[in-house]
Amino acid sequence: MDALISGLHHVTATVSDAQADVDFYVGLLGQRLVKKTVNFDNPGVYHFYYGNEAGEPGTIMTTFPYAGMGVREGANGAGQIDVTSFSAPAGAMDFWRARLAAAGVPYTGDPTPFGEDSLHFDDPSGLHIRIVGTSGDERAPWTRPDIHASQAIRGIHSVSMAVRQPESTGALLTRMLDARKVGEAEGTERFAMGDATPGRLVEVSNAGGAPGAINGLGTVHHVAFAVATPEDQLRMQRELRRMGFQVTDVMDRQYFTSIYFREPNGVLYEIATLPPGFAIDEPLAELGRALKLPPWEEQRRPLIEQLLPPVTY
């Protein structure tokens, strides 16, 4: 089969407070809020999409802020994405150290297993975040007055997962998801898709005897991989089903279409299309300003707006 997966599309996490989430990803990390919408499966909850200027797949982190909705605290463990990494220019790592310190965000500075400068810290909900210093990440960043283009985060660098049987996770990545192994160090394997640049990397480590992950506040819900077209998505769905995976039907996520399945160690994967993208319902210059609802929820807009807590950014 030809390569259908071009890299990561987005990472989605279950988080707690909406305002704290926006303050962290927009205010501190300098991401653009490229879409303010609702959880299509639970429209009383926001769905925030953060990304670069154009909201390109591979730069997108998305969150469901579930504070006060009775969702339990999650716990990291086996069968889960436990670290989401962002890519920043290697020369800007001192800027990020100073910015985190000024914001009172504790961090540690161990390099990645592959020798890259990196900073580890938690977001307000407890998600494990890492900024990795990279060179040659050509993606156009979103900037703001206090974050220069030479310093700004370029997008997602990679996701890291801990699993009980790394061989089976690796086999699926290489045989079905068009990845190849590009490194192994300190018990962590790194896989890459496409040209192996940031936004196309997945790390897999052995969870050992760690207890199973608990999905909930402060944990990653799933990672999405990108395909170019709806036809490619259907091919992936067919191939995965043929291999025995329980793959969902195609779901309309307004900005892309999606299928979901669990990989052999239980991590939830999504395969999402590149088109139509975030400019389908508002101009590029205005992304993220207004609450956007899918057409089928528009008639309930007054009720939904009442349910959602106000956020400023």
> For Zn ion, which stretch binds (CB under 5 A), given 47-55, 200-208, 223-231, 241-249?
223-231
Query: Should residue 63 be labelled a site residue for Zn ion when binding is judged by CB under 5 A?
Result: no
> For Zn ion, which stretch binds (CB under 5 A), given 166-174, 212-220, 222-230, 241-249?
222-230
Question: Considering beta carbons, is residue 100 or 293 the nearer one to Zn ion?
Answer: 293
Cβ neighbours of residue 202 under 8 Å, at least 6 residues apart?
A: 8, 158, 159, 160, 161, 173, 179, 190, 191, 192, 193, 223
Cβ neighbours of residue 22 under 8 Å, at least 6 residues apart?
A: 33, 48, 311, 312, 313
Question: Considering beta carbons, is residue 26 or 220 the nearer one to Zn ion?
Answer: 220
Question: Considering beta carbons, is residue 119 or 267 the nearer one to Zn ion?
Answer: 267
The residues that bridge with 189 in the sheet, in sequence order, are: 184, 204
As a whole number of angstroms, the distance between CA 173 and CA 179 comes to 5
Query: Should residue 220 be labelled a site residue for Zn ion when binding is judged by CB under 5 A?
Result: no
Q: Residue written as tokens 């009442």?
A: 306
Question: Considering beta carbons, is residue 210 or 250 the nearer one to Zn ion?
Answer: 250
Question: Considering beta carbons, is residue 116 or 270 the nearer one to Zn ion?
Answer: 270
> For Zn ion, which stretch binds (CB under 5 A), given 162-170, 218-226, 244-252, 274-282?
218-226
| Cross-sheet strand order for the sheet of 219-227 | 32-39, 42-51, 60-65, 5-15, 219-227, 268-273, 257-262, 251-252
> For Zn ion, which stretch binds (CB under 5 A), given 9-17, 28-36, 72-80, 155-163?
9-17
Closest distance to Zn ion from the beta carbon of 145 (Å): 31
C-beta separation of 107 from 119 below 8 A: yes
What end-to-end distance do the CA atoms of the chain give, in Å?
45
Return the residue of 6, 12, 63, 158 that touches Zn ion, per CB under 5 A.
Answer: 12
Return the residue of 17, 123, 178, 270 that touches Zn ion, per CB under 5 A.
Answer: 270
Question: Considering beta carbons, is residue 263 or 270 the nearer one to Zn ion?
Answer: 270
Closest CA to 50 of 215, 308, 278: 278
> For Zn ion, which stretch binds (CB under 5 A), given 5-13, 73-81, 136-144, 186-194?
5-13
The HSE-up count of residue 180 (CA atoms within 13 Å, CB side) is: 6
- Total of residues contacting Zn ion (CB under 5 A): 3
Question: Considering beta carbons, is residue 87 or 258 the nearer one to Zn ion?
Answer: 258
Q: What are phi and psi of 306, to 5 degrees?
A: -70, -35
Query: Should residue 224 be labelled a site residue for Zn ion when binding is judged by CB under 5 A?
Result: yes
> For Zn ion, which stretch binds (CB under 5 A), given 119-127, 236-244, 263-271, 289-297?
263-271
Amino acid present at 23: D
Query: Should residue 159 be labelled a site residue for Zn ion when binding is judged by CB under 5 A?
Result: no
Closest distance to Zn ion from the beta carbon of 12 (Å): 4
Question: Considering beta carbons, is residue 129 or 224 the nearer one to Zn ion?
Answer: 224
Q: Supply 180's token pair.
A: 């190849």
Query: Should residue 82 be labelled a site residue for Zn ion when binding is judged by CB under 5 A?
Result: no
Phi-psi region of 212 (alpha: psi -120 to 50; beta: other; left: phi over 0): beta
* Site for Zn ion, rule CB under 5 A: 12, 224, 270
